[in-house]
Chains A and B, each alone.
Chain A
Amino acid sequence: MYSVSGIAMLSTFKDFNLMQEHSNEEFKSFNVDVWQHDGHAGALIPLLQSAQNTYGYVSEQAINHISHVTGISQAEIYGVVTFYAQFRTKPLGRNVIKVCNGTACHVNGAKMVYDTVQDELNITYDETTDDGSFSLISVACLGCCSLAPVITINGEVFGRLDATKLRKILREAKKRARETAVQNN
């Protein structure tokens, strides 16, 4: 298990097995044109979003590159990256499960949802399974409060959950993940 966000990332970065350094060719593909928008230095966040959209996370290399383009220090960029919940400094697993912890979900059993997911996948929030197949994220509100409690798996919403229903959904997701892994091998 490894932490998806988390401060300890810079030192452990290089030896991380799922992390692949981007080639220079690849690197040009991420859009730095959004910088210098209107002559204002205001596009740091869109730049980081562009990096994350392209690679799935904001790598050390991306921070270096953005610093080079913008003249903003790496430390300041890192400060912005870690301030906002959206940015990740490590890649996610192949499947992403988001557990809603909005108020409506909380009063309708988000704890039960978390316990069940944790029990099935053996990971806690901001962790990825050892085989890299699932990441678990807690989100503040998915905005479908009338379906509470809710999770999404790769963006697909599953609502009005109870432990039995959720366990079935998770087991099917695990089965699909295994099948995909076999096919890819």
Chain B
Amino acid sequence: MKTITIGLGTCGVSAGGEKVFKAFHDELKEHPGTFQIKETGCVGMCYREVLVEISNGGDVSHMYGDVTPERVGRIVDEDVIGNTVIEDWLVSGAGREKGFFENQTRIVLRNCGKIDPGSMEEYVGTGGYQALEKVLKTMTPESVIDEVLKSGLRGRGGAGFPTGTKWKLTRAAAGTKKYIICNADEGDPGAFMDRSVLESDPHAVLEGMIIAAYAVGSDDLYIYCRAEYPKAIARLNQAIGQARRKGYLGKNILGTHFSFDIKIKEGAGAFVCGEETALIASIEGRRGMPRFRPPFPANAGLWGRPTSINNVETFANISWIILNGGAAYAAYGTADSKGTKVFAMAGKVRRTGLVEVPMGITINKIIFDVCGGIVNDRKFKAVQMGGPSGGCIPASMCETPIDYQQINKTGAIMGSGGLIVMDETTCMVDVARYFLTFTQSESCGKCTFCRIGTKRMLEILERISIGQGTMNDLDNLEELSLQIKSATLCGLGQSAPNPVITTLKYFRDEYVAHIQEKKCPAHVCASLLTYTINDKCTGCTVCAKACASNAITGSRKEIHVVDQEACIKCGKCFTVCRFDAVDKL
């Protein structure tokens, strides 16, 4: 019997996956017994959702992209019942997605979009929980740590601290009660790797956590997950319940004297809680404000006890490393950065979604070979890595390999894996202003330089973006950046100036254009634009009515005119026009 698998990760649901799911159910009622329906998580091709895979039971399968409820009837009639593949609707039709999977190496995403995340049997069927059995029955905690050290795995949350070393320090710390925390507070806007892994393969994260607990000598595990990820939390709760029933969590795991249990703590929306000491404060029920380190959490973490905090993606690597060996993992990548990295691709790139590539691949290769280049073939300008803590790397430097050291040299950071592609229609001053707005509002307020310094930087950027900046402002921005970096406590403050520093370094001419010529070269900053009305105008008078400064004149059914003297450049006419008749230059 044929199996129809529907992608119901957040990306699939957003694109209408549940309606497609229901449509298949309705079809099944009409043709009972012809096929079965399954759901799966995110395969990474978010830009082609809703994705539907048809398999004949064996290994042979094909996938349709952009499926709508209207297309379901034809898929069932022609393909499922009629055995004729609808070539036009295939994801790979006409060689369209060439290179997307071929250039990836999937370790973390190995099961994503393949298995039903709600079924523990399917996870076990792919070799799941074998690593845990191996660890508990044949390995000492020290040998587990050695294997992870050998793999060269570094923390995937952003800072890149070697995972094995973190475990070793926590294990060596004094005290009998220790904690493992999974940091699933994925706060970078534009990054969704962790959410996707939690939704698509929750058991892989649980298994990695239990192995970590065994290695450091902990029996109490926490997952700190963003409340904004309801589906991920539901999946985790379901998976924890299943693991308890099967004896992978609870007392005397697999007949040993080890006991582990996992609790979920929902975050309440604060970017700074991704910082480990803030995260601990938040679990303890306080305002999530970072504290001075040392002592590091490995010595004094949650409730003052030794705690190892690792990221979702880090944990998802562990069982693979145990089963295949640290050396096999270290075979991927560069001298400094081993293994693979998952990136969330967004912005002006053709294929937006999740990709996992071996370390050492160049940024250009990810954007052009894996992700198909820039939307509408516009000119590639820069890529933003590392979210609000990261920086913009210009197109000219995108032969840089994905490697912690090499990325740091550009002024950006590896970060957690958000990769936002920008083209010629993106204004770099606006991007810097955007990230500063974010970090400014997310600053916890503890350090003066972060609280007030980012505010002053933001004011300067706002001034520049409305054409009121001076060249002196650029020096002030640079000076403030250095001061904030050196006089703040946590990663949020220390990295907050990065987007400004990198855009100033690589795109100084854009800042200068805003200041001296009062022009926004990318036509983004509203106050620096000139609005004119072209001959597509139907004379509907909507723009004239909307204009706050009565700058638009014209009779009904005649082309309207903007009085540039009176125009306050609010952009309202551009927003209200339904005929593309307002140009901004």
Residues of A within 8 A of B526 (CB): 111
Q: Of the 9-residue stretches B119-127, B128-136, B186-194, which lies at the interface with chain A?
A: B186-194
Q: Measured between alpha carbons, how far is A164 from B192 in the docked complex, in Å? A: 28
The one of A141, A147, A157 that contacts B190, using a Cβ cutoff of 8 Å:
A141
Does A182 have its Cβ within 8 Å of any Cβ on chain B?
no
Q: Chain A contacts of B269 at CB under 8 A?
A: 84-86
With contacts A49-B227, A103-B190, A104-B420 taken as known, whether A164 is within 8 angstroms of B284 at the C-beta atoms is no
A159 to B46, CA, bound (A): 12
Contacting chain B: which of A13-21, A25-33, A36-44? Answer: A36-44
Name the contact of B287 in the complex, choosing from A80, A85, A150 (C-beta under 8 A). A80
CB within 8 Å: A-B pair count: 140
CB nearest to A156 among chain B residues: B14
Closest partner residue, chain A, to B526 (CB atom): A111
* Residue pair B192, A143 in contact (C-beta under 8 Å): yes
Query: Which of chain B's residues have a CB closer than 8 A to the CB of A102?
Result: 189-190, 346
Q: A103–B347 contact, CB under 8 A? A: yes
Decide if A141 touches B192 in the complex (CB within 8 Å).
yes
Q: Is A172 an interface residue, CB under 8 A from the partner? A: no
Q: In the complex, what residues of B have CB within 8 A of residue A116's CB?
A: 575
1/0 per residue, CB under 8 A from A, across B10-31: the answer is 1101110000000000000000
Cβ-closest chain B residue relative to A104: B346
Asked whether A101 lies within 8 Å of B189 as measured between CB atoms, the reply is yes
In the assembled complex, the CB of B553 is this many whole angstroms from the nearest CB of chain A, namely: 21
CB <8 Å contact, B270 and A84: yes
The answer to whether A145 and B190 touch (CB under 8 A), given A87-B268, A104-B420, A140-B438, is: yes
State A145–B47 Cα separation when bound (angstroms). Answer: 9
For residue B272, which residue of chain A has the nearest CB?
A83
Given contacts A147-B14, A163-B575, contact A80 B285 (CB under 8 A): yes
Chain A proximity of B395: nearest CB distance (Å): 15
Query: Does B286 lie at the interface of the complex (its beta carbon under 8 Å from any beta carbon of A)?
Result: yes
Contact partner of B229 (CB less than 8 A), chosen from A40, A143, A148, is: A143
Question: B353 at interface (Cβ–Cβ under 8 A)?
Answer: yes
B391 at the interface (CB under 8 A from A): no
Q: Which of A159-180 contact B (CB under 8 A)?
A: 159, 163-164, 167
Residues of B with C-beta under 8 A to A83: 270, 287-288, 444
Q: Is B485 interfacial (CB-CB < 8 Å)?
A: no
Is B559 an interface position by the 8 A CB rule? no
Q: What 1/0 flags go to A102-125 for Cβ under 8 Å of B?
A: 111011100110011001000000
Q: Which of A137-152 contact B (CB under 8 A)?
A: 139-148, 150
- Residue in contact with B14 in the complex, picked from A40, A157, A167, CB distance below 8 Å: A157
Specify the chain B residue showing the minimal Cβ separation from A163: B575
Residue of A nearest to B48 (CB): A146
In the complex, besides A147-B46, A148-B346, 17 extra interface pairs with C-beta distance below 8 angstroms are: A42-B285, A45-B282, A49-B266, A83-B270, A84-B268, A84-B270, A85-B268, A102-B189, A104-B352, A107-B420, A116-B575, A140-B189, A143-B11, A145-B46, A147-B11, A147-B15, A157-B13
What are 26 of the A-B contact pairs (CB < 8 Å)?
A: A83-B287, A83-B444, A84-B267, A84-B288, A85-B268, A86-B269, A87-B268, A103-B347, A103-B420, A103-B434, A104-B347, A104-B420, A107-B431, A119-B572, A139-B228, A141-B188, A141-B189, A141-B191, A141-B192, A142-B14, A144-B15, A145-B192, A146-B47, A146-B352, A147-B15, A163-B576
What are the nearest 10 A-B pairs in CB distance?
Answer: A85-B269, A103-B190, A84-B268, A104-B346, A44-B285, A146-B352, A145-B346, A102-B189, A146-B46, A86-B269
